[in-house]
């Protein structure tokens, strides 16, 4: 009997171990699948917002086409992973049509953002697009020439939005009469451009900012000079007023002292 019991026990243990291993593998694949779905949905939503949530002309045709291809790829994967959700197939058709129509359109005049909230949102979304480009490059989905072209455009846009943010803050400071603060923000914008100006691409913008700063500095110096000139006159007027008041007090004191002396003589 024992001869059959021991092999049976081993068989049961093997079955249990196999079941546990299989259950663990299934759970692991389920978790991985869910993570992939979550990541694909997040990418789709971010790139959708970047492609459609900003003024027409904000992105170049190249970057817009890249976004549509990324959206198509995400929708294709989501369609396979969640076949019961028909919105993935609908969005796949939508972005495929948008990509086709984009190829027929000419490049529009580039639009720059002037809203701080939009600048902040676009900055974060473009950084996500940059990560996607590097990921595609690592996977050999795009070649090095394409990678360099995309990253160069994205970096230029990120830089320009940083400068635009500083210029916006500078203009806000000017409107409330804070000239010194305005100069500070313009100089921050100039510094950002100068740091990336090895090829002299931003010489014109730097010169424009230098001109604006020079005019504001002249205005600030003029205001400071007027204050300095007015200071001695104000000091003299204050001293004159103080002297007059002191004379009045001494006169009043003398009168009261004279009255006291007369009273003493009378007494």
The answer to whether residue 230 sits within a structural domain is no
pLDDT digits (tens, 9 = 90+) for 167-177: 999 999 999 98
The answer to whether residue 248 sits within a structural domain is no
If asked whether residues 151 and 72 sit together in one domain, one would say: no
If asked whether residues 74 and 147 sit together in one domain, one would say: no
Give Rg (Cα) of the chain. Answer: 38
Quote the tokens at residue 199: 């090829």
Rounded to 10°, the helix 87-104/61-81 angle is 160
If asked whether residues 172 and 133 sit together in one domain, one would say: yes
Geometric angle at alpha carbon 66, from 61 and 68, rounded to 5°: 95
Which of 8-22, 48-62, 120-134, 227-241 shows the lowest per-residue confidence on average (mean pLDDT)? 227-241
Question: Where among 105, 136, 153 does a domain terminate?
Answer: 105
The number of folded domains in the chain is: 2
21's CB contacts (< 8 A; 6+ apart) are: none
Question: Where among 72, 105, 138 does a domain terminate?
Answer: 105
Nearest to 74 by CA among 105, 101, 102, 50: 50
The answer to whether residue 164 sits within a structural domain is yes
The answer to whether residue 5 sits within a structural domain is no
If asked whether residues 80 and 124 sit together in one domain, one would say: no
If asked whether residues 100 and 121 sit together in one domain, one would say: no
The answer to whether residue 68 sits within a structural domain is yes
Could you tell me the residue range of the domain that residue 59 belongs to? 12-105
Nearest to 193 by CA among 212, 218, 217: 212
Confidence of residue 3 (pLDDT cuts 50, 70, 90): low
If asked whether residues 164 and 216 sit together in one domain, one would say: yes
pLDDT of 255 reads 54
pLDDT digits (tens, 9 = 90+) for 198-215: 889 899 999 999 999 999
Quote the tokens at residue 205: 């913008």
Quote the tokens at residue 243: 């002297």
pLDDT of 108 reads 65
If asked whether residues 81 and 129 sit together in one domain, one would say: no
Question: Where among 54, 72, 105 does a domain terminate?
Answer: 105
If asked whether residues 92 and 123 sit together in one domain, one would say: no
């Amino acid at each position: 009997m024992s001869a059959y019991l021991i092999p049976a026990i081993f068989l049961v243990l093997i079955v249990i171990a196999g079941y546990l291993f299989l259950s663990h593998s299934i759970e692991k694949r389920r978790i991985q699948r869910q993570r992939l779905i979550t990541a694909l949905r997040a990418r789709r939503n971010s790139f959708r917002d970047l492609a459609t949530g900003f003024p027409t002309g904000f992105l170049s045709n190249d970057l817009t086409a890249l976004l549509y291809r990324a959206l198509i790829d995400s929708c294709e994967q989501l369609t396979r992973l969640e076949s019961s959700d028909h919105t993935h197939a609908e969005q796949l058709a939508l972005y495929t049509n948008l990509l086709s129509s984009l190829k027929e359109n000419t490049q529009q005049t580039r639009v720059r953002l002037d809203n701080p909230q939009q600048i902040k949102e676009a900055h974060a979304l473009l950084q996500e697009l940059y990560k996607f480009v590097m990921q595609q490059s690592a996977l050999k989905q795009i070649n090095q020439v394409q990678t360099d072209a995309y990253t160069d455009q994205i970096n230029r846009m990120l830089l320009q939005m940083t400068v635009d943010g500083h210029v916006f803050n500078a203009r806000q400071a000017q409107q409330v009469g804070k000239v010194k603060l305005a100069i500070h923000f313009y100089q921050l914008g100039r510094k950002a451009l100068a740091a990336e100006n090895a090829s002299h691409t931003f010489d014109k913008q730097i010169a424009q900012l230098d001109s604006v700063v020079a005019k504001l500095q002249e205005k600030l110096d003029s205001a400071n000079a007027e204050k300095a000139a007015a200071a001695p006159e104000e000091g003299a007027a204050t001293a004159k007023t103080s002297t007059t008041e002191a004379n009045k007090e001494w006169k009043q004191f003398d009168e009261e002292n004279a009255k006291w002396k007369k009273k003493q003589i009378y007494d």
